[in-house]
């Protein structure tokens, strides 16, 4: 893809990029660096995250599927900063391939811009790179960087977690952006597998695997605002599953006991059966139907559920914090 074609794509998406600008944005689009004013908090703390959509990119074949990749990069980053109570301020994207295809590139950037506008974060910059020899033919990399801000006294980092805290799980919409190497190895072995209709899924394998990453940021920020001081930790469940992510917000002496009382979505059951893949690996690789876990004081658990449900979330009581060696126990015998 030559520079002229790349510039043409960027000019076509420029109106959508500008539409994401918030009052904090300084300067015009197209400068060497994006600029933003930090809100006038007493002691502002910047919270940053960078992550990509992984090998989910290998499943995209049509423009609407490339738009999902752009959306997912935004949703993933916003979730990462929101779990610390930070309001997302700005987002930057990075799109690379061995050879950039104009239609696909435009769809990815449109997906990023549309998601930024939807969730109220400014898209202030990005980078496109064409690197044959570094990326395999047909492979794409879609990455995002998010910056958020929170008052220092309102940071949620797990340091106040105590035994007795209740764990709430927020339902996921599918694999989100993790576990695709394993999922592809099991479900996409031959040409046509993505288009194979699965009755238990109610759709094709490709449609199930390409469901967008759910953005929890609005719900989590509202919860942290309404139950200030009673929300002790929030964990975005990404690569590593519940055990590998929930442990990151546990202090020493606290152990999370998670009981799988929710119905594990059909797409995960299909992967487990077709693999076959055992429970331990499934919960280590995938979110298994829970995209975020929130720890709250026991007296605030009912109210927390009400707030989250009013934001459109499906909420499960998935366990509690106990005293013991720092870690996470997942009891899967109760999974349906």
User: In this predicted model, what pLDDT tens digit does every residue of 100-153 receive, in sequence order?
Assistant: 999 999 999 999 999 999 999 999 999 999 999 999 998 999 999 999 999 999
pLDDT single digits (tens) 70-109: 999 999 999 999 999 999 999 999 999 999 999 999 999 9
Q: Give strand pairing partners of 167.
A: 295, 319
- Are 69 and 57 contacting, i.e. CB atoms less than 8 angstroms apart? yes
Q: DSSP E strands: which ranges in the chain?
A: 25-26, 35-36, 44-52, 87-97, 122-130, 140-151, 166-171, 197-198, 203-204, 231-236, 254-259, 290-296, 315-323, 327-331
d(CA 146, CA 129): 19
d(CA 209, CA 95): 21
d(CA 205, CA 167): 31
* 205 or 10, higher pLDDT: 205
User: What pLDDT was estimated at residue 267?
Assistant: 98
State mean pLDDT over 313-319: 98
Would you say the CATH fold of 166-331 matches that of 3-154?
Answer: no
User: What pLDDT was estimated at residue 281?
Assistant: 97
pLDDT over 80 (residue 335) = no
3-state secondary structure of 294: strand
pLDDT single digits (tens) 11-70: 899 899 999 999 999 988 888 999 999 999 999 999 999 999 999 999 999 999 999 999
Structure tokens at 68: 């999902």
User: What pLDDT was estimated at residue 215?
Assistant: 98
Confidence band of 9 (pLDDT split at 50, 70, 90): confident
Q: Which of 156, 140, 155 is nearest to 73 (CA)?
A: 140
Confidence band of 1 (pLDDT split at 50, 70, 90): low
Model pTM score = 0.95
State mean pLDDT over 164-186: 98
- Are 271 and 277 contacting, i.e. CB atoms less than 8 angstroms apart? yes
How far is the first Cα of the chain from the last one, in angstroms, to the nearest whole number? 49
State mean pLDDT over 211-216: 98
Overall fold of domain 166-331: Phosphoribosyl-aminoimidazole Synthetase; Chain A, domain 2 (3.90.650)
Report the alpha-carbon angle 101-104-110, nearest 5.
135
pLDDT single digits (tens) 233-292: 999 999 999 999 999 999 999 999 999 999 999 999 999 999 999 999 999 999 999 999
Q: Give strand pairing partners of 234.
A: 294
Confidence band of 223 (pLDDT split at 50, 70, 90): very high
What are the residue boundaries of the structural domains of the chain, listed by start? 3-154, 166-331
3-state secondary structure of 332: coil
State mean pLDDT over 292-307: 98
User: What CATH architecture is 3-154?
Assistant: 2-Layer Sandwich (3.30)
The torsion of the CA quartet 212, 215, 219, 223, rounded to 10 degrees, works out to 130
pLDDT single digits (tens) 178-191: 999 999 999 999 98
């Amino acid at each position: 893809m030559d520079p002229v074609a790349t510039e043409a794509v960027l000019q076509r998406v420029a109106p959508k990029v500008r539409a994401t600008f918030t009052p904090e944005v300084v300067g015009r689009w197209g400068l060497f660096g994006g600029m933003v004013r930090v809100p006038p908090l007493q002691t502002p703390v910047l919270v940053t995250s960078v992550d990509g959509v992984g090998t989910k990119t290998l499943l995209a074949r049509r423009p609407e599927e490339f738009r999902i990749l752009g959306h997912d990069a935004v949703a993933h980053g916003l979730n990462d900063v929101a779990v610390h109570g930070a309001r997302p301020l700005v987002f930057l994207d990075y799109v690379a391939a061995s050879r950039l295809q104009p239609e696909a590139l435009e769809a990815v950037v449109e997906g990023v811009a549309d998601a930024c506008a939807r969730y109220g974060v400014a898209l202030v910059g990005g980078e496109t790179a064409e690197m044959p020899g570094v990326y395999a033919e047909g492979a794409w990399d879609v990455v995002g960087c998010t910056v958020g801000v929170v008052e220092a006294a309102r940071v949620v980092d797990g340091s106040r977690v105590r035994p007795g805290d209740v764990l709430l799980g927020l339902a996921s919409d599918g694999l989100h952006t993790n576990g695709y190497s394993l999922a592809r190895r099991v479900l996409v072995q031959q040409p046509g597998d993505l288009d194979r209709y699965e009755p238990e899924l109610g759709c094709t394998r490709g449609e199930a695997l390409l469901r967008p990453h759910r953005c929890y940021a609005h719900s989590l920020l509202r919860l942290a605002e309404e139950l200030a001081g009673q929300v002790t930790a929030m964990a975005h469940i990404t690569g590593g599953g519940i055990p590998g992510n929930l442990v990151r917000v546990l202090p020493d002496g606290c152990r999370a006991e998670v009981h799988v009382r929710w119905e594990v979505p059909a797409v995960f059951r299909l992967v487990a059966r077709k693999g076959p893949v055992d429970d331990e690996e499934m919960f280590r690789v995938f979110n298994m139907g829970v995209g975020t876990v929130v720890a709250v004081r026991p007296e605030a658990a009912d109210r927390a559920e009400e707030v989250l449900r009013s934001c459109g979330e499906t909420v499960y009581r998935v366990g509690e914090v106990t005293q013991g060696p720092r870690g996470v126990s997942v009891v899967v015998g109760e999974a349906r």
